[in-house]
Amino acid sequence: MMTTRDRTLGAVDRHASDVPPAERTLPGLLRRQAERHGDRPCLELPGARWRHADAADAVARVGAALHAAGIGRGDRVALMGGNRAETLETFLACGWIGAISVPINTASMGPQIGYFLTDSGARLLVIEAQYLDRLQSAELAGCALEAIWVVDVPGLHAGATKEEAATRIALGAVNLAAGAAITVDAFKRTTTPIDAAPVGPGDPLAILYTSGTTGPAKGVICPHAQYLAWGENSARILALRPDDVLCTTLPLFHINALNTYAQAAWIGARVVYLERFSASGYWPTLAAAGATVIYLLGAMVPMLLAQPEDASERAHRVRSGLGPGVPAAAGIDFERRTGVRLLEGYGSTETNFVIATAPDSTRRGVMGWLQPGFDARVVDADDVEVPDGTAGELVLRADAPFAFASGYFHKAEQTVEAWRNLWFHTGDRVVRDADGAFRFIDRIKDAIRRRGENISSYEVEQVLLSHPTVAEAAVFPVRSELAEDEVMAALVARPPHAIDPAAIARHCESRLPRFAIPRYLDVVDELPRTANGKVQKFVLRERGVGAATWDRGSGLPAPKRI
């Protein structure tokens, strides 16, 4: 069976890239935007305001500081910071000098941070001061970390000496006894920029960690050309114009926000990064920023719709937005109240923006249609393509070299498994309709998505099992009122102990990101299993929340047994 794709779109050459393949790198993008867009405003976020002509110089000054600290081609630099200049500058500067950035979710706690640092082999950690105390519970003894640069050091005045910085940081820093050789200093820039390194389109730009299903999170190796493809494809799908103002509250440790900069750089638009999402203040903030294009995740739209209807929902310049995962009914209500139609779409850290709707599409409730430059199939368990209208796994591939990720860092077996038969296996069950539209059905993988974050059930289970009263744990998703998942766990007690769900929740608070802490807990005598002993999580999902389930949100009494 032939692969379904939109040949009409694919034949349109006005969107074809004019960048030679060898120049599809981050330094090439920064040079291109300076030449083409020059004095046009480019970027606004706390700590930086750039024209397009300023970007390469600002990035090269941070790159020079990294180079002076001994960071070179192929070295990994971990980043843990919010939507601020230092976070984006370091990400871009790593690409400028041929190093590899490792963004860390700012909700991560000590155990996850220690894992990311050790698994990636990062030599340098750039971290906001407010997250330093989390390193106290991170295992650093086995990692390659040599230095920590602290951003926004409390009380550190401009022009402070290195000795003053070290003293001030030490006052608020952590006990690094486990890594006594690690030096701590303030974030650095230099006054003299450095020339870009001769990087290629297939060279790694970043390692982005995505939650695993049966093991720890995997580091996705994202090459330079993939980053450019994200920006180019997104700009085309959103029909961006040079006079657009792209506005996002999404965090700079996710590909969504990172590639918003690439969109602006590609098209000559301006991007405004906001520090955080506030449902009550969202529309006035957008109006103040002059936003014309916005970026939302599925759970954010019900939050906005839960606010009282207000005139500010129409008092803005927003003409379009991207809202993957928004339920059809919520999207219709959102458009009625705000005048903004949100585009649906599909992409992952491993792939690209491969499926999308269009502003004039009459269909609702679909992810969209295949975009030019990509192929998609819906296959059965043996990778045989199934007929339209039949559910199966979505598999993808790209036409251009390095438009997808290169694999999983130091995980050859998982890479081969995911890219078997030369297609990337998404783990998502979908249906392709006769008109070529793809509909999402559910996830095949044992993963959970909550508040826009992917959660590894394995990692949550390991934290639950570390409590002395828990003998067995199974973590699984249940549907929430926000159209995504809530985290639920079934627990078996370790004799002679009894399980106190409230104590379990407190145990998780210092060991898991807030979004990963189970909301619902069931205490059970045993977990349902197959004949060979594998936990049957589908049974637990179908059982769902019961009368005896303990709800962390409401603090209902803990169940005794079910």
| pLDDT tens-digit map of 86-99 | 999 999 999 999 99
**pLDDT attached to residue 16:** 47
What are the E-state strand segments in 499-553? 520-523, 550-551
Q: In the chain, what are the domain boundaries?
A: 52-210, 354-445, 448-551
Q: What is the CATH number of domain 354-445?
A: 2.30.38.10
- Is the model's pLDDT at 9 over the cut of 60? no
At 292 the three-state DSSP class reads coil
- Is the model's pLDDT at 327 over the cut of 90? no
- Is the model's pLDDT at 15 over the cut of 50? no
**pLDDT attached to residue 254:** 93
pLDDT digits 0-9 by tens, 306-322: 899 999 999 999 999 99
- Is the model's pLDDT at 370 over the cut of 50? yes
- What torsion, rounded to 10 degrees, do the Cα atoms 500, 503, 507, 510 define? 150
pLDDT digits 0-9 by tens, 146-164: 999 999 887 776 667 767 7
d(CA 56, CA 92): 9
The arithmetic mean of pLDDT across residues 62-90, rounded, is 97
pLDDT interval class at 531 (50, 70, 90):
low
Percent of the chain at pLDDT > 70 equals 90
**pLDDT attached to residue 417:** 95
Percent of the chain at pLDDT > 90 equals 67
- Is the model's pLDDT at 545 over the cut of 70? yes
d(CA 534, CA 521): 20
Residue labelled with tokens 């070299």 = 401
For residues 54 and 176, the model is more confident at 54
The arithmetic mean of pLDDT across residues 362-376, rounded, is 93
pLDDT interval class at 180 (50, 70, 90):
low
- Is the model's pLDDT at 38 over the cut of 80? yes
Residue labelled with tokens 């790209």 = 398
pLDDT interval class at 213 (50, 70, 90):
low
pLDDT interval class at 173 (50, 70, 90):
low
- Is the model's pLDDT at 248 over the cut of 90? yes
The arithmetic mean of pLDDT across residues 524-538, rounded, is 75
**pLDDT attached to residue 297:** 85
Averaged pLDDT of the chain: 88
The arithmetic mean of pLDDT across residues 329-345, rounded, is 92
**pLDDT attached to residue 157:** 67
d(CA 481, CA 15): 40
d(CA 258, CA 256): 6
As assigned by CATH, the class of the 448-551 domain is: alpha beta
pLDDT digits 0-9 by tens, 253-285: 999 999 999 999 999 999 999 999 999 999 999
**Listed range (82-91, 168-177, 239-248, 250-259) with the worst mean pLDDT:** 168-177
DSSP code per residue over 192-215: S--PPP---TTSEEEEEEE--SSS
Residue 434 sits at φ, ψ, to 5 deg, of -60, -25
The arithmetic mean of pLDDT across residues 437-454, rounded, is 78
For residues 90 and 138, the model is more confident at 90
Q: What is the CATH number of domain 52-210?
A: 3.40.50.980
Residue labelled with tokens 């007690």 = 493
Burial of 175 (0-12, 13-18, 19+ CB in 10 A): exposed
The arithmetic mean of pLDDT across residues 225-232, rounded, is 97
- What torsion, rounded to 10 degrees, do the Cα atoms 479, 482, 485, 486 define? -90
The candidate with the shortest Cα–Cα distance to 236, out of 364, 352, 410, 70, is 352
- Is the model's pLDDT at 522 over the cut of 60? yes
Structural element, H or E, at residue 96: helix 85-97
- Is the model's pLDDT at 178 over the cut of 70? no
The arithmetic mean of pLDDT across residues 323-342, rounded, is 89
Amino acid identity, residue 245?
Answer: V
- Is the model's pLDDT at 411 over the cut of 50? yes
**pLDDT attached to residue 449:** 80
pTM, full prediction: 0.82
